[in-house]
């Protein structure tokens, strides 16, 4: 605990660049030594500016103590650069974060072939469908999905990973406790992997944080996959970041005249690897990661692109995030979407749809989950216990049932059926 507060102090000290934080911790022997150093102790360090020297004179540890208390209360883990759980891939980059805030459980990053998936927020049904298929296939092949979790392609890829049972890591460009970013999808990702951020609880949002996040998202993976990106897109900046870290870059092809994919199509012209399925990305890594295998078993169920597109449109957009635009361009105002009330379309006297028709097409596993939800507000732990299935599989199938409209998720990881038996009114 005593050492942890110094890590958090240095990691969150305003006015320091990430690279300077890292070099100070390494050159001075650790954050504690940095904290107790005087200005003259930094003499000869040519990587630090006068403004940063002034920032280091701020010795208040109250914020660090408050962050530790907040994380304890909210069940948020803290992994520092000095911890065994800290991924080696992340520690090897130019400016690794000194601390990560974690919801869920970090997968064994260095043992997995991670694929970072990115693309436009304003995705077409084709783009959403391909992102889901890729996210699902990557996990089914024994690899890991890394996603920024922002609306559009990133979220669709993470949804596919959850459907496959993970593993998946969501990397936030805002505080770990941000209400705009810790959505239902983020909770599902934390259940099959982890949601991480280098920004402590209570950190105010800044537009620059989302660009800084790219270095973490790409370095946790061995390859980057861009699905549907226009000419001016943050996904292209992300691909550049991945290339600078020595990662292989792939793109999903689209129609030649598709403006929404003009940037990703151009990437293919410039040498990015074409990816029609997940194994196209992972095949070249098979010798490095023996657990990789070509996807087998049931593919991702079809016919969900339009349903996901509507659900995706209602996801909140993180403050400060956005596609790359002309310098100085104004950010479009966020519009609250109000779901229209569905009109009653059942003719008088017509009986409600039969239960058998509503459950038609569900797999045996999904039917077992429906049977386990024998009362409203059933907790997920009870569902897991009654079915005897793995937690990751249960959460993945429940997400799929939500998309199908069979199940409703409620606060506290509780679920209710959204089906109507014959004769109900």
Residues 119 and 221 in one domain: yes
Q: Which residues is 227 bridged to in the sheet?
A: 119, 252
Whether residue 152 is contained in a domain is answered as yes
Q: What are phi and psi of 308, to 5 degrees?
A: -70, -35
Using alpha carbons, select from 189, 151, 173, 125 the residue that is nearest to residue 392: 189
Identify the domain boundary among 248, 283, 313.
313
Residues 78 and 114 in one domain: no
Residues 97 and 120 in one domain: no
Distances (CA, A) of 248 to 223, 244, 274: 5, 10, 11
Residues 75 and 138 in one domain: no
Residues 136 and 62 in one domain: no
Whether residue 324 is contained in a domain is answered as no
Identify the domain boundary among 77, 101, 125.
101
Residues 262 and 376 in one domain: no
Residues 394 and 380 in one domain: yes
Cis omega (within 30 of 0) for bond into 167: yes
Whether residue 397 is contained in a domain is answered as yes
CATH number, domain containing residue 364? 1.10.10.10
Domain boundaries, position 296 = 105-313
Per-residue pLDDT at 362: 84
Residues 257 and 373 in one domain: no
CB atoms within 10 A of CB 96: 22
CA 422 – CA 358 distance, rounded (Å) = 10
Ranges of residues in the chain whose predicted pLDDT is under 50: 305-306, 309, 319-320, 322, 324-354, 421-425
Per-residue pLDDT at 184: 85
pTM for this entry: 0.73
Distances (CA, A) of 171 to 148, 195, 209, 246, 309: 5, 6, 11, 20, 22
- ∠ CA 226-231-233, rounded to 5°: 60
Number of domains in the chain: 3
Reported as a single tens digit per residue, the pLDDT across 191-226 is 999 999 999 998 888 878 878 889 999 999 999 999
Q: Which residues, 6+ apart, have CB-to-CB distance to 145 below 8 Å?
A: 114, 115, 117, 135, 138, 139, 157, 158, 160, 161, 166, 167, 168, 169
C-beta separation of 158 from 135 below 8 A: yes
Whether residue 350 is contained in a domain is answered as no
Q: How far apart are the first and last CA of the chain?
A: 58
CA 110 – CA 222 distance, rounded (Å) = 10
C-beta separation of 369 from 416 below 8 A: no
Whether residue 193 is contained in a domain is answered as yes
Residues 39 and 132 in one domain: no
Q: For residue 86, what is the DSSP state?
A: S
Helix, coil or strand: residue 379: strand
Whether residue 33 is contained in a domain is answered as yes
C-beta separation of 194 from 78 below 8 A: no
Per-residue pLDDT at 295: 77
Residues 222 and 264 in one domain: yes
Residues 83 and 36 in one domain: yes
Q: Which residues, 6+ apart, have CB-to-CB distance to 80 below 8 Å?
A: 4, 7, 11, 86, 98, 99, 100
Whether residue 119 is contained in a domain is answered as yes
Whether residue 423 is contained in a domain is answered as no
Residues 229 and 209 in one domain: yes
Q: Are strands 99-104 and 193-197 parallel, antiparallel or unpaired?
A: antiparallel
Q: Which residues, 6+ apart, have CB-to-CB distance to 409 below 8 Å?
A: 184, 398, 402, 415
Q: What are phi and psi of 424, to 5 degrees?
A: -70, 145
Identify the domain boundary among 255, 288, 313.
313
CATH number, domain containing residue 179? 3.40.50.450
Query: How long, in residues, is the chain?
Result: 425
């Amino acid at each position: 605990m005593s050492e942890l507060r110094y890590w958090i102090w240095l990691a969150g000290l305003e006015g320091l660049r990430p690279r300077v934080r890292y070099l100070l911790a390494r050159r001075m022997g650790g954050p504690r030594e940095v904290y107790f150093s005087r200005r003259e102790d930094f003499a000869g360090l040519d990587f630090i500016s006068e403004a940063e020297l002034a920032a280091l004179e701020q010795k208040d540890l109250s914020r660090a103590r408050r962050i530790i208390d907040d994380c304890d209360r909210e069940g948020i883990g803290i992994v520092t650069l000095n911890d065994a759980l800290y991924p080696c891939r992340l520690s090897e980059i130019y400016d690794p974060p000194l601390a990560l805030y974690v919801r869920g459980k970090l997968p064994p990053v260095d043992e997995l072939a991670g694929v970072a998936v990115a693309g436009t927020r304003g995705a077409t049904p084709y783009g959403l469908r391909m992102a889901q298929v890729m996210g699902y296939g990557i996990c089914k092949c024994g690899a890991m999905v890394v996603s920024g979790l922002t609306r559009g392609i990133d979220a669709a890829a993470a949804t596919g990973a959850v459907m496959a049972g993970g593993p998946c890591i969501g990397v936030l460009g805002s505080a770990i406790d941000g209400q705009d970013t810790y959505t239902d999808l983020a909770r599902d990702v934390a259940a099959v992997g982890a949601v991480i951020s280098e920004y402590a609880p209570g950190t105010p949002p800044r537009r620059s944080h989302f660009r800084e996040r790219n270095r973490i998202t790409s370095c946790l993976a061995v390859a980057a996959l861009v699905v549907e990106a226009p000419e001016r897109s943050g996904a292209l900046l992300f691909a550049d970041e991945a290339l600078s870290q020595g990662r292989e870059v792939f793109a999903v092809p689209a129609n030649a005249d598709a403006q929404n994919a003009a940037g990703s199509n151009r990437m293919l012209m410039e040498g990015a690897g074409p990816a029609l399925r997940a194994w196209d990305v992972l095949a070249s890594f098979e010798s490095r990661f023996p657990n990789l295998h070509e996807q087998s078993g049931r593919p991702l169920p079809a016919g969900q692109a339009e349903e996901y597109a509507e659900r995706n449109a209602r996801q909140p957009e993180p403050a400060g995030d956005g596609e790359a635009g002309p310098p100085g361009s104004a950010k479009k105002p966020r519009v609250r979407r109000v779901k229209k009330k569905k009109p009653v379309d059942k003719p008088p006297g017509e009986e409600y749809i039969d239960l058998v028709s509503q459950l038609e097409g569900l797999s045996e596993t999904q039917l077992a989950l429906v049977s386990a939800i024998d009362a409203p507000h059933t907790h997920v732990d009870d569902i897991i216990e009654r079915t005897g299935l793995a937690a990751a599989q249960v959460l993945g199938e429940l997400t799929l049932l939500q998309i199908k409209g069979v199940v409703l998720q409620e606060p506290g990881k509780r679920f209710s059926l959204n089906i109507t038996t014959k004769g109900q009114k």
